[in-house]
Amino acid sequence: MVIAVKKKLIKAGAFLLVVGVFCYCFFVVAPDKDTAALVYNNSYKDMSFSVFDYPEAADGETELKQMHLMEENNQYALYLDENLSDIALVDKKTGRIYHSNPCRKDPSLLLGKANQYEFTSLVTIDYINSSGKTGTFTSAEHALTNKQVWVKKIESGIRLTYQMGSAESSRLLPPVLTEDSYQEILQKMEDADRESMEEFYRYLESGQLPAEQAEELVELVPGVENQNLYLLRTLTASQKRMLESMLEEVGFTVDQMEEEKKKTEYVGDENSISFVIPLELRVEEDGLLVSVPAQDIQMPKSVKIRQISLLKGFGASSQKEGFLLIPDGSGALLDRVSNSSNDVLAKPLYGRDITTSVPYISEISEQAVLPFFGQRSEQDALFGYIVSGAPQASVIAKQISSSNFAATVYPSFIITELDYKVYDLTENSQSGILLANESVTEDLSVCYFPMEQEKATYSNMAERCREYLLKQGMLKDEKTQGSSFYLSLLGAAEKETTRFGIPVTMVEPLTTFQQAEEILSVLIDKGVSDIAVEYAGITEHGILGNNNGSFKPLSALGGKKEYQGLLQQTSQNGIRFFTAEEFLCVYQSQGFGQNQSLVRKISKQIASGSEWNPVTLRREKENSYSLRSPMTLLKIGEAFLKEYAYYSEAGISAPSIGKLLYSDYKKSAACSRTGAQQQYSALLEMFEKNVQNVMVHTGNSYALPYVTDILELPSGSSGEYLETESIPFVQQVLHGYVNYSSTPFNSTSDGKREFLKAIETGGAIYYQWMYAENELLYDVGVQNLYSLHFSDWLVEAVSFYQKAQPMFEQIQGVPIKEHQKLQSYVYATSYENGVTVLVNYSDSAVKINGISIDGQDFAVMEGNINAG
């Protein structure tokens, strides 16, 4: 519905347009009704809404001047500026006001020409065409200043619809036509219309372009280099209406117009592009819910929206004290002011989509598993959580610098995926861009939580996050009685050898079922209880196997009978047992054909992956794998459970389901990363209903409603150049509700530090073992597995367990209340039952609250911390 603007504002319109960007005012009225009808769906242009029908803020509210109350509940109130240039969320309890336009809070803020529109826009879009030309539209510059904004009242809030760009671009006015199409249109026209058509279009003969215009024409229409074209001349308003009418009469459509743009590689400029973006703002009990109903986004076929960024200025300020919070690994803090030439850090959620072509990376980083972000300044604090659309999202942090005068953190969502044309098999030669045919249609939603200033620590933000997840059912509301010692055992591996001169593949046992019993018996005899075992590689193809809907324990490991004996032992000793099955990665040695249900890239090539080499930062050539289509998982899961149900004592570990998230561009079963997430969630829900315990690795947040255990949960951040501190934010959210551990202690270069990190973050002890000697690993061709022979690590593991078990007994099932850095290398983690764990990473002893802590050690206390 279009805002009906009062006459008094019309007089001030010219002035407001000049100063609006820097202060907060934009003058917006309804578009001229005489404008030719858009080809887009125009149902959002309803003239019955007026912001002035809603109460204006009280005269004493300087920050809310010329703002009107749109919606409120007992906790919050939402205001909209008369000129649609700002929204304000008022926390009724504290009286604090949070603006989307930072100039409202700080009128003296000079954003600079480079980012003036960026910070004053509720929506920013980046677009791209098939030729690779990119551009950016902001709602402030490309909708508000063009008077192309409509407002509609919805339940609990409002809906803003922006038409960004030129309305002309959506009219039936083909800017260019191929010679064949032009001639076909002429043949359908009357003589008079043919003459007009010839006046409206200019003929361009390939190879015969005017020298003075050739470069400009090729840039505008690259296709003119290899085909003859007709280019639309500059027309008057009446000529445009005439052309539209003529084309409609001969049945020429908007879809055909877009096809012509594609055929000719028409690039155009900002004046030839238009997008329609809806934005919904709802006041909820928890805060402000901001959503983009992606299915209602409208865009031309020839140009795609690459990504959408939301509320870049919400909570932004020039204040230098405080922090920015991003979801790098377990969580990371950034200062509000940059100390380097760089001031922007982007963190994609759930890792990289493996279906895109990336031959190398700049560094191996921790995966973002929980879609949160936040910021605190001297005056305000906001926490944000991405409710839907997280698989497409990144969190962007911007620090104050010489080119950026306000610090902020905000979400950005990929709408259309892209890849690169690859012309050789090494993926080192990339040329040209491939855009996905379909764009994301799932809603994009973010919930913003105002934080009380005195409680605006990252620990309080983690508590707020946990409360929200529990309330929304995104985290199991069940306190855990988990394990303090995790053990991953490797069952078997395939080995290439020869027999009578003929190449054969043999199954090489790494840990048989009886040997697994022996290892567990040794641990039990040494006093290690409270164990959880994950057993991988016990079915076909061993540790590089992929489950195809069956479950048959390998005879080389002892078969069904000895597997049942192992289950009996674990059950009698209270050991939680998980069989690890790979449902996603299909290793090439397994002989899957081209016609199997494997994932395709945008190019329709089969997608493949392998581990990153930490030295070369390129993909390892060994053990490469393809990916199973997410759309096949439920069928496979159902078949697997029918056979697995026989072993009622065992839980299920699906490691990759919590780690790898990817798209599929196969025509018969295409899905986005969000679609894949939905399939993963359905599979995990199926497991949860059929077995007692479910485990994943890494722990992407979509798994949280269904799992009891997570292994290899990031225990730190990537240490990016702008980050100032790594924090266990994720662990503060999960502890007491999900059991977890990080990296196996024997897979790191410093097991003692990994042990202390587990103590600090509330994680369990974790080892990965096998019964066979380490030398056997060299013959089975498995990368990233080194020293795993159990007896090499037994003494260390038992020592760590005995030292930590008394602490584990005190904190098991208890949420973390606070985490803080007391001094360099010294941290404190406090739990809701009053227990506090102090960890000293330094080599020297320290004293906290009268308690002496040796170097590289920890202590447990009760009561409040006095860091001094």
User: 3-class SS at 825?
Assistant: coil
Residue 36 pLDDT exceeds 60: no
Kindly report, residue by residue over 594-616, the tens digit of the pLDDT: 456 888 888 888 877 666 555 55
Give the CATH number for residue 819: 2.60.40
User: 3-class SS at 726?
Assistant: strand
Q: What is the pTM of this model?
A: 0.86
Same domain, 14 and 69: yes
Q: How confident is the model at residue 32 (pLDDT cuts 50, 70, 90)?
A: very low
What pLDDT is stored for residue 505 in this prediction? 81
In a domain, 599, yes or no: no
Nearest by Cα to 265 from 395, 175, 334, 200: 175
Nearest by Cα to 22 from 110, 146, 138: 110
In a domain, 236, yes or no: yes
Same domain, 808 and 819: no
**Residue where a domain stops, chosen among 236, 268, 300:** 268
Same domain, 405 and 516: no
What pLDDT is stored for residue 53 in this prediction? 75
Weakest-pLDDT range from 26-30, 295-299, 782-786:
26-30
Same domain, 19 and 125: yes
What pLDDT is stored for residue 435 in this prediction? 85
Same domain, 528 and 443: no
Kindly report, residue by residue over 317-364, the tens digit of the pLDDT: 999 999 999 999 999 999 999 887 788 999 999 998 988 866 555 566
The average pLDDT across 792-815 equals 97
Same domain, 536 and 411: no
Same domain, 48 and 82: yes
Pair of tokens at residue 336: 């509000």
In a domain, 825, yes or no: yes
Weakest-pLDDT range from 336-340, 395-399, 554-558:
336-340
In a domain, 714, yes or no: no
Residue 617: what are its φ and ψ, rounded to 5°?
60, 30
Mean residue pLDDT of the chain comes to: 87
Domain that holds residue 531: 491-581+742-812
Give 734's DSSP letter: H
Is residue 353 within 8 Å of 417, Cβ to Cβ? yes
In a domain, 407, yes or no: yes
Sign of the CA dihedral running 313, 352, 392, 693: negative
In a domain, 587, yes or no: no
The full DSSP string for 9-41 is HHHHHHHHHHHTTTSS-----PPPTTSPPPSS-
What pLDDT is stored for residue 728 in this prediction? 99
Same domain, 457 and 308: yes
What pLDDT is stored for residue 430 in this prediction? 41
Same domain, 17 and 51: yes
Same domain, 284 and 153: yes
**Residue where a domain stops, chosen among 437, 471, 505:** 471
| Burial category of 207 from C-beta neighbours within 10 Å (exposed 0-12, middle 13-18, buried 19 and up) | exposed
In a domain, 850, yes or no: yes
What do you get for the CA distance between the two ends of the chain, in Å?
Answer: 60
What pLDDT is stored for residue 15 in this prediction? 33
The average pLDDT across 388-399 equals 97
In a domain, 627, yes or no: no
User: 3-class SS at 523?
Assistant: helix
Same domain, 143 and 281: yes
Segment 144-147 long-range contacts (CB within 8 Å, at least 24 positions apart): 144/20, 144/26, 144/28, 144/83, 144/84, 144/85, 145/17, 145/20, 145/26, 147/27, 147/28, 147/29, 147/30, 147/31
What pLDDT is stored for residue 38 in this prediction? 37
Same domain, 450 and 565: no
The average pLDDT across 74-81 equals 96
Kindly report, residue by residue over 481-500, the tens digit of the pLDDT: 779 999 999 999 988 777 77
Can you tell me the distance from the alpha carbon of 597 to that of 103, in angstroms, rounded to the nearest whole number?
53
The number of distinct structural domains making up the chain is: 4
